[in-house]
Amino acid sequence: MTDTREHGIIVIGASAGGVEALQRLAACLPPTLPAAVFVVLHIGPRFSALPEILSRAGTLPACHAVDGAPIRPGRIYVAPPDHHLLITPGQMRLSRGPRENRARPAIDVLFRSAAQAYGPQVVGVVLTGGLNDGTAGLVAIKAGGGITVVQEPDEAKCPGMPLSALRHATIDHRLKLDDIPGLLARLAGPVPAPDPGMLPPEQSWTDLEAGLNEGYDLARPLALTCPTCGGALAETQDSALPCFTCHIGHRFVAADMDEAQFQAMERVLEMALRVLNERAALCERMAGTWHGKGFDELAWRWRAARDEAREKAEVLRGFIENGWLRPDPDGETGDA
């Protein structure tokens, strides 16, 4: 499609395989790019050298986003570890708010905030990665009049996120990675000046979060609990993907909810297996103690309890090791 509107805000999300993809993209962005670029990569909670990597890869300077800092053109702002990155008119915000799709930083948080703050002046890009993060954000960007772009899944190291976006969002451009920088250069315009009538800079994270989580009715909870905190969950009614959130704000699309439930179930089963193994060890010890004291009948009962614990532990180990039927996660398989 052709779009002559200038887009001053470019938001990019990536996960597995994202470092290499972002390096290649940054290497081809022009040094005179008038827009500001914001990047979320799923990373660990402690350290990230991504700004240095991207700065070396291309001509645009990259740095970690700073809470409350103004948005400048021709720069790449990277979400720091363990912080969501949001955009408000004229500035960026950071938060250690609840994880979304089991991630912090989360791509959807950045994309939704950009759509809310800048509407049709936003370009959203989803690169390589698994599961669904970024899909709901692209839906929000498109609803706000922005441009949506995905990497060609066939060349992505992990095609899940691009496939999910193609399945559930209206995508304007499906491109090979090496073609995306040229498109961004053509679409880019100056960073929009803040509109005084839009969100004020002093707005708190609680206020921002309330605006980003519209569409949830927590007064009508589901018969499901949050895998992270155990709170009641409600389902959104206006998303391209089924999406669940709790009172705290943990947010999951269906595939991530499935994964979180599976991990919680595995932890519980492993805990039960540990207790059974400990019970077998206790019974073994007490059987030996009472046998040594000449109480053979009591020793026999302890050995019987040991054998029972071992048998049940083997059954439980089979549950853990033999795998479970897993629904096809959105964006992992299928044609798009």
pLDDT digits (tens, 9 = 90+) for 101-112: 889 999 999 999
Reported as a single tens digit per residue, the pLDDT across 132-191 is: 899 999 999 999 999 999 999 999 999 999 999 999 999 999 999 999 999 999 999 998
CA gap 29, 184 in Å, rounded = 8
Catalytic one of 48, 108, 133, 173:
133
pTM of the predicted structure, to 2 decimals: 0.78
Q: What is the pLDDT of residue 31?
A: 96
CA gap 215, 236 in Å, rounded = 5
Higher pLDDT, 171 or 331: 171
Q: Which residues pair with 37 in a beta bridge?
A: 10, 76
Catalytic one of 7, 15, 113, 172:
15
3-class secondary-structure state, position 131: coil
Does residue 219 carry a pLDDT above 70? no
Tell me what the mean pLDDT of segment 106-129 comes to.
Answer: 96
Which segments within the chain are labelled E, that is strand? 9-14, 36-41, 62-64, 76-78, 84-88, 91-95, 122-126, 147-151, 173-175, 233-235, 243-246, 251-253
CA gap 77, 63 in Å, rounded = 5
Q: Catalytic: 42?
A: yes
Reported as a single tens digit per residue, the pLDDT across 197-215 is: 554 444 444 445 544 455 4
Q: What is the pLDDT of residue 209?
A: 53
CA gap 116, 92 in Å, rounded = 13
Q: Catalytic: 296?
A: no
**Domain spans of the chain, in order of start:** 9-207, 212-249, 256-321
Reported as a single tens digit per residue, the pLDDT across 260-302 is: 888 888 899 999 999 999 999 999 999 999 999 999 999 999 9
Distance spanning both ends of the chain, measured CA to CA: 19
Q: What is the pLDDT of residue 139?
A: 94
Q: What is the pLDDT of residue 330?
A: 44
R_g over Cα of the chain: 25
Catalytic one of 42, 83, 168, 250:
42
Q: Catalytic: 330?
A: no
Local structure of residue 195 (DSSP, 8 states):
P
| Residue 20 structure tokens | 């290499």
Reported as a single tens digit per residue, the pLDDT across 46-103 is: 889 999 999 999 999 999 999 999 999 999 999 999 999 999 999 999 999 888 888 9
Q: Which CATH class is domain 9-207?
A: alpha beta
